[in-house]
A and B are shown apart, each in its own frame.
Chain A
Amino acid sequence: MTAVSVRDVSIAFGMLRVFDGLSLDIEEGEFVVLLGPSGCGKSTLLNAIAGLLDVSAGQIWIDGRNVTWDEPKDRGIAMVFQSYALYPRMSVRENMSFGLRMARTPKAEIDRRVTQAADLLQITHLLDRRPDQLSGGQRQRVAIGRALVRDAGVFLFDEPLSNLDAKLRNELRVEIKRLHARLGKATMIYVTHDQVEAMTLADRIVVMKEQKVQQIGSPAEIYGRPSNLFVAGFIGSPQMNFVRGRLEAEGNRLAFAAGRHRLPLDAYAFSDRPEPGREVVLGVRPEHVEPGASGVWPGFTIDIVEPMGADTVVWCSDGTETIQVRTSGTRRVAPGEGLSLGLDAAQVSLFAADTGERL
């Protein structure tokens, strides 16, 4: 069943159109991450779903109801903000119950929900503190708690971890994932610019850029089969290697050619078999390059070695192309060594050089 459905939505700020006819369906219980660089419109979309922003055309459905004109409080949503947005000078308990008190929920029910949420987030001991007495991580837990007590079917997260340091970010990320699993049917829509959060949390990722959806898919799809050059470059660290070249015909087989390097593409799954002679960009992830004494692309020299512990990133070059290779951290390599690169056509991506779209 569809929990949230964005149907042909346009949003405009004055004369400036931000979205034009955007549609998105989100299943019940799904964890969807809206991912993109700042200014891509992901937060705008989230605010529109929340009802904090009017759409200028289209509809928004939540839980089978058309809520396009409904107030945020009537949409069955809860929201967590980047700046926590805790009400200052109210205790944690008051923060969590403020909305329920506004809705004149019976006191016993308020207590029950607050206790339950506090339990779930392990903030029971903080209930009587005030936000300015809490650390950043605790504040965000409280903010999540405030969302939990609303008993909403849909949770909206607007970059909730961006204000935290790296360690806390990891902790809370896991916490949110656990929470999603525990709540079972809760639908979560999560906005972030952090690809690690997106990859680890999402059932589905919506990659956005400049107010356009670039790709919607599972983390594995987004990572393994990026639909265009932007997605390919945006996801993955170290970045995917890109090599410009062209398609050449070898009999009735196709091969990628860049300078003296060639790669037969028999194993590549084209969506649409293209014409030979086409200008293309070959993308290959660093871990999909096999360095060794023999490989399809010989003649590389190691430039720089970046040991990262678990693995090592090796930058190597043949004078025209620079390729990053990810190898095991135990492998000993030194700058200056000669190298051949092994590539597997099944694991590379090919993009049209002109449009940037995946072939």
Chain B
Amino acid sequence: MNSISIQAPRAGVLVRRGRRRVGRGLPAALALLPTALVVLVVYVGCMLWTVRLSFTGSTLLPRYDWVGFAQYVRLFANDRFLTSAGNIVIFGILFITGCLILGFLLAVFIDQNVRGEGVLRTIFLYPYAMSFIVTGVAWQWFLNPGLGLQKLMRDTGFPGFTFDWLVNPDMAIYTIVIAGIWHGAGLTMAILLAGLRGVDSDLWKAARVDGVPAWRYYLSVVLPLLRPMVVTATVLLATGVVKLYDLVVAMTLGGPGISTEVPAKFVMDHLFERNNIGLGTAAATIMLIAVVSILAPWVYARYVREEGGRV
């Protein structure tokens, strides 16, 4: 019996390491083998392969020469890429803050004992069940100036109304933000609402006895409590930002011109259509670096610091 011990509680039961137990652990290790292979070949191998390719002059087919940072130099002189990078920053900031603010407001308002709460929740979250392609096609149709919102407003008595963002190179990226928020705000609401429901109801009673107004209660008491949920939602939204591809393809195809290009699309285009593997993989590597630098603080906060023991 003393060969079984309970260690770190979050990991559950652990069979103590030791030579005597290797035999028992063998089936478990075998079961994990496919995953280990995938991790090794795909998650590590393909990643390194991509990074390696970014230092080559590969075009249609991979070559394994060494051109140093030449592809990166080209990349940062490439208008299309610079536009893509700028767009993803604009999209990222507006999309995340938009989803968080709208999601928080929806969650708080829905938590006020409103009628039809279930129906409202369903309405706010359903877009998240749909694909980005569907989302993009729907919004493209709704926002197209010829037959969509603009025409609707003009027909209903605002002849001067103009909303041509979808075909305006300066504004087109914002239509993608709108469609993105439409798709993702419900998710943020659902996460924050789950957090709100976990808040001790005595706190609101205490606040009422203290004469704290509702808005102040939510800002000073609830919001700090929801920080873990806000972080989770932000991380989730942020990974969506980096992966942004389908929505652009369905809505604008990167246009008008190159005004709504994004990095993921840049990579896909260069890898599979423009036959420029070197440049494509360089852009992919930049995406990788961006994700890791966004993720690192979160991973640090979540795992390293927490496991360092809390006060």
Q: A interface vs B, CB < 8 Å? A: 47, 50-52, 71-74, 77-79, 81-90, 98-99, 102-103, 132-133, 146, 150, 158
Contacts and interface: CB of A to CB of B under 8 A. Distances in A.
Given A88-B221, A88-B225, A89-B224, A99 B202 contact: no
Contacts of B224: 88-89
A72 B206 CA distance: 9
Contacts of A158: 202
B210 interface: yes
Contact of B212 (A51, A99, A133): A99
Contact of A81 (B205, B220, B221): B205
Interface string B231-252: 0000000000000000000000
Nearest to A130: B311
Given A90-B220, A102-B216, A133-B311, A85 B211 contact: no
Contacts of A87: 203, 206-207, 220-221
A102 B213 contact: yes
A78 B209 contact: yes
Nearest to A78: B209
B305 to A, nearest CB: 15
Contacts of A77: 209
B201 to A, nearest CB: 9
Contacts of B306: none
Given A83-B200, A87-B220, A52 B210 contact: no
B154 interface: no
B208 interface: yes
B282 to A, nearest CB: 44
Contact of B202 (A71, A85, A90): A85
A82 B200 CA distance: 11
Interface of B: 200, 202-203, 205-213, 216, 220-221, 224-225, 311
Contacts of A99: 209-212
B175 to A, nearest CB: 38
Nearest to A147: B209
A358 B52 CA distance: 92
Nearest to A94: B220
B254 to A, nearest CB: 44
Contact of A52 (B205, B212, B220): B205
Contacts of A85: 200, 202-203, 205-206
B245 to A, nearest CB: 38
Contacts of A83: 200, 202
Given A81-B202, A89-B224, A102-B213, A73 B311 contact: no
B221 A50 contact: no
Contacts of B221: 87-88, 90
B202 A102 contact: no
- In the A-B complex, list the 7 residue pairs whose CB atoms are closest, starting with the nearest: A99-B210, A73-B211, A85-B202, A85-B206, A81-B202, A89-B224, A72-B209
Contacts of B311: 132-133
B210 to A, nearest CB: 3
B112 to A, nearest CB: 16
Contact of B205 (A50, A74, A88, A98): A50
A150 B208 CA distance: 13
A73 B220 contact: no
Contacts of B212: 98-99, 102
B206 A73 contact: no
A52 B208 CA distance: 8
Given A83-B200, A87-B220, A88-B224, A71 B211 contact: yes
Nearest to A158: B202
Contact of A73 (B202, B203, B209): B209
A26 to B, nearest CB: 18
A79 B202 CA distance: 10
B145 to A, nearest CB: 48
A355 to B, nearest CB: 38
A192 to B, nearest CB: 16
A73 B210 contact: yes
Given A85-B206, A98-B212, A150-B210, 20 more contacts: A50-B205, A51-B208, A72-B205, A72-B208, A72-B211, A73-B208, A73-B209, A74-B211, A78-B209, A79-B206, A84-B202, A85-B200, A85-B205, A88-B224, A88-B225, A99-B209, A102-B210, A102-B211, A132-B311, A146-B210
A71 B208 contact: yes
A225 B92 CA distance: 73
A153 to B, nearest CB: 14
Contacts of B209: 50, 52, 72-73, 77-79, 99, 150
Contacts of B213: 102
A98 B208 CA distance: 11
Nearest to B208: A72
B205 A79 contact: yes
A57 to B, nearest CB: 22
Contacts of A133: 311
B240 to A, nearest CB: 28
A74 B216 CA distance: 18
A28 B129 CA distance: 60
Contacts of B220: 87, 90, 98
Contacts of A78: 209
23 contacts: A52-B209, A72-B205, A72-B209, A72-B211, A77-B209, A78-B209, A81-B206, A82-B202, A83-B202, A85-B200, A85-B203, A86-B206, A87-B206, A87-B220, A88-B225, A89-B224, A90-B221, A99-B211, A99-B212, A102-B212, A103-B211, A146-B210, A150-B209
A6 B188 CA distance: 45
Contacts of B205: 47, 50, 52, 72, 79, 81, 85
A85 to B, nearest CB: 4
A83 B202 CA distance: 7
Contacts of A79: 205-206, 209
Nearest to B199: A88
A146 B208 CA distance: 13
A102 B207 CA distance: 10
Contacts of A72: 205, 208-209, 211
A89 B213 CA distance: 18
